[in-house]
Structure 1
């Protein structure tokens, strides 16, 4: 593979623009995507990466400009049109039928009577998986697969449809440390076989590892496009992205430890097995593990969504039922969900009403709601947390995922909680916003205990005082973040291996 792309791009985006009401998501985008290369697409939250790729994959139609494939303009009315043209996107949320086999999922919707026989289906999928370095058992049911294996099925679905361009949106978020190199090996094999790969990630070390080319968006425009070979370090790459120097590691000053704010004893049921954990004011405990190993069930029990079946959960010295029967809006527990648009916010409400979702009692001391004060607080949150665009009147669905997360963080910190449960708080955030969120969580632990649920090991190591590794509903181990021997084995613990 050469260090520079060939003259003729496989895909050319020519003058692409897209607006959503007053929000200009993309403005006059010019971008080439070359066969046999990995293009890393970078940008701060709200820069327009997802909108641009959603147009390329057929989910949105551009307001203006053209998508040109092999020199021929194309107009996609749907994702199917894009797939038919050889363009597919691997999303973070998989679209698989859990009760069907790998082979059945890969070939679902494919034409041709020769796919009817299970043995023939499995043979074809096995050959495809071997060709692209994506080991999988074609006869296995989706419900029995790890998240990494399910991702391979999604990739195989696109490869079976002869996709020439594969778009990966934050693909390593669901992978263990050992699965990420396997994915990168498969991506390199795709480019060796002449396919183009677009890789969206906020992890600088991953981009330095896998990318051939880098394109950077700011406020809906391409501001830089360069070969990765011209970038010397991940710090330099981060500086290119945000336009200033970014420190990718933060200093964690010690915080005095206080009273116990959360105590979990022998918590079982709903997929959990004998979980024991304490959390005190002044510390961050990180729950790490591959998605789907009991983290959601643990969070549901702690945040009041599901009553514990067996064992006990005490919050601020109160039993679970007592705590959740009389909880106030302030100085108690704040929850920052992973699902920003479905659980944390209401898509069709404006930003003021979304702030009021968990703070309304603070603006209604009597019968009437002080909406003017709520608007002022929302404006302050938008300013302090750098939410873009800074318009309190727009709807939540008009924000990018990262900017929506910043609004949620600002709202929940405004409540001055004593317990913070933060699920994937920096997922989808750019390095600048991640740096800010990390500082805010570290500062918050002075008055709170923080239960951090994250799939990002670097985030866990940077922020946590202790780490608990979850696998199939159990804590494989709970250890101090300075225990280097345990840290070296964390990948094995996440895979359920103790020896």
Structure 2
């Protein structure tokens, strides 16, 4: 399939997301779409997949101009997209979500759909239970389901927005093998939007770079990663350094905490965290680190064990009491748990500002919003609906909503889907809080990030936890072995 984007432009109010972009994607090739967060990558791909309409320009499929009115229309023309935040139905099962959008009308062949689901899941080595409910699955598992659902609909151009987030190295390797086979053997057009430049080098044939909504260049792959970084930012970007900080008194004390969920059992985990300390939580998606973090925030009650915040017993207490104890939690699902789709940036701040009056001081809320937008380098306006911001800007804005003085900050995948510069900005803000005495616990699938920023690392495997007290000599490779189940630090 040959897909042409001719003179595509798209604006959201005063924000010009795409400006006169023309690109051609040929069958049999794997392309990368690169750029800093907010460069217009996802917007352009949403236009190509029918999720959004362009203000001007046209899409041509195999020489014929087409009008893509919806994702369903795009799939009918052979174009499908895996979005960064999976578009699924949490109250439904895996099988029901797999069936959604498939031919069959009101009475689909569930037996045939189950067989197709199981066959594709086995091909990718994805561990998906057809009868499990979506709201019990991780973001990574939901992405896996969406990948195989699109392939089952016989798309000929497949767009993937950050597809390797939340999956294991083995699953990624198998996924890449399948994508290469689909492109080289079956002639599929594959387009990858990713901030993981190592993935781009490993998988893609060519990289297309956007900057501030405009096309700025393309390069054949293989090439040096520094070449891609300079195209994206116009300069070389280095990782944020982690300055040493003297730790303070104990903030969090977890002793022999066990958690039992429908997914797994987290067994007898203990951890002491001091003020100013950074603890990285590593493990394959679904290994227990997410449940552990939620227990430390009051969102999941432990089956046994104790949790103390600054000496106060908190096990079994509700989330709002943890918040009152200066604990904050930033989840991975930005628009599902962290932010509220449909509300503006100012309206989000109005919910967080202390206010004893029975009405909202909108002047104060707008002023505070503008101050935080400037301080956190958010590319948006106080009146912008939160869902119109890019993933990186949503993440920066979510951080801006947090209180200034916190005892403990817990984060799930704080740099998920972010480019190098945006990730550096996030960590600059986090390390500044650390210097003020805030203890930080963070989950990350990026092993280099875990090693670079952690004072200690808690590795989860199958609900069991192993503490690495001195990660100074730890490599990403060694950490990967621990994550894979090898015992010993």
Within 5 Å, give how 1:35-434 maps onto structure 2.
35-92=27-84, 93=86, 95=88, 105=98, 109-110=102-103, 122=115, 126=119, 134-135=124-125, 153-193=145-185, 194-229=187-222, 231=223, 233-247=224-238, 249-271=239-261, 272-320=266-314, 332-358=326-352, 360-361=353-354, 364=355, 371-389=362-380, 391-412=381-402, 414-434=403-423
Deviates more, 1:90-99 or 1:294-303: 90-99
- Unpaired runs of 5+ residues, structure 2, are none
Give the Cα separation in 1 of the matches to 2:474 and 2:7. Answer: 51
Maintained 8 Å contact 1:176/1:491: no
Give the Cα separation in 2 of the matches to 1:495 and 1:304. Answer: 29
Corresponding residue SS for 1:171: coil
Aligned-CA RMSD value: 3.4
Is 1:494 aligned to 2:445, yes or no? no
Deviates more, 1:441-450 or 1:68-77: 441-450
Give the Cα separation in 2 of the matches to 1:222 and 1:119. Answer: 44
Corresponding residue SS for 1:172: coil
Structure 1 residue 43, shift from structure 2 partner:
1.6
Corresponding residue SS for 2:286: coil
Maintained 8 Å contact 2:95/2:114: no
Structure 1 residue 349, shift from structure 2 partner:
2.8
Give the Cα separation in 2 of the matches to 1:34 and 1:382. Answer: 40
Maintained 8 Å contact 1:122/1:139: no
Normalised by the length of structure 2, the TM-score is: 0.86
Structure 1 residue 189, shift from structure 2 partner:
1.1
Structure 1 residue 460, shift from structure 2 partner:
0.9
**Aligned residue pairs: how many?**
475
Structure-2 change in CA distance of 1:96 and 1:480 (3 Å): farther
Residue deviations 1:115-143 (CA, integer Å, cap 9, x gap): 969599748974x789xx63568997667
Structure-2 change in CA distance of 1:428 and 1:376 (3 Å): same
Structure 1 residue 156, shift from structure 2 partner:
3.4
The equivalent of 1:29 in structure 2 is 21
Normalised by the length of structure 1, the TM-score is: 0.84
Corresponding residue SS for 1:342: helix
Maintained 8 Å contact 1:266/1:311: yes
Give the Cα separation in 2 of the matches to 1:62 and 1:425. Answer: 31
Structure-2 change in CA distance of 1:141 and 1:120 (3 Å): closer
Give the Cα separation in 1 of the matches to 2:140 and 2:162. Answer: 13
Give the Cα separation in 2 of the matches to 1:324 and 1:140. Answer: 32
The equivalent of 2:433 in structure 1 is 444
Structure-2 change in CA distance of 1:182 and 1:409 (3 Å): same
